[in-house]
Amino acid sequence: MSEICTFLHASGGSDFPVDPSIPAWCVPALWAPEALSAVIALVRAPEIYSAAHFAPLILTPQINAVRADDGLHVIVGDRSGPLRLWISDDCHERAAVVIPLDESCWVRLHHLRRFIERLYGRTAGPLPNTFRPTRYRIRRLAHALQALTAKQAGATARDIAALTDPGVKTLSGSIWKDVHQRARVERLLTLGEQLAAGEYLALLQYGRRPFPTSALRAAR
């Protein structure tokens, strides 16, 4: 991401990968492979594979793309979800994939399978529930950000609670201090502030699995 922001800033743009006023579902943001586990890193295959026949890279339709100093960052559209690629400049005729053996390798392997299905002209398939937040979690994150936005616009905790339960407007001050609606709003605001402070980046690594302690000991 830092490379893309630097590229845009040098070309006279903003410090965002895309215009922040454009909804993410219209032009999805670009992320570096180390930030988002879904990004597939393509490099030039080693010379030991000189006799291999490499598949051509199919990069259409492109939803978003930027050429930065480190290569091409591109999002390719697919019916079951976009494919995100980082492509080094010298790999187009001999593309290979890098899968670091880190805690996100299972996520990367799944997205690699989707990409290979696409190369063979098949449907890539949706992201399994294991690698994405539940609907309940997504709703809670959305409510937390909405609550934080309302607070920054001048709304009180009671104003925010009244959006889902108008009856709280009529409660006396002593009762309002102890009702569950207030506690819920406070929890949402805490979550929203944490997300805004940078915790949202953890969502980019959703689905990663810590290595077992026994495996770490064996590696040493």
pLDDT per residue over 74-92, tens digit each?
A: 999 888 888 999 999 888 8
Q: Span 147-151, mean pLDDT?
A: 93
pLDDT, tens digit (0-9, with 9 covering 90-100), for 166-211:
888 888 878 878 888 889 999 999 999 999 998 888 888 887 888 7
C-alpha span between 70 and 78 (Å, rounded): 25
Residue 40 makes CB contacts below 8 A (sequence gap 6+) with 33, 83, 84, 85, 86, 97, 108, 111, 112, 115
- The contacts of residue 51 (CB under 8 Å, 6+ apart) are none
Place of tokens 């009856």: 167
Q: Could you tell me the residue ranges of all domains in the chain?
A: 2-131, 135-205
Q: Is 185 helix (H, G, I), strand (E, B) or coil?
A: helix
Judged on CB neighbours under 10 Å (0-12, 13-18, 19+), 33 is: buried
What is residue 53's three-state secondary structure?
Answer: coil
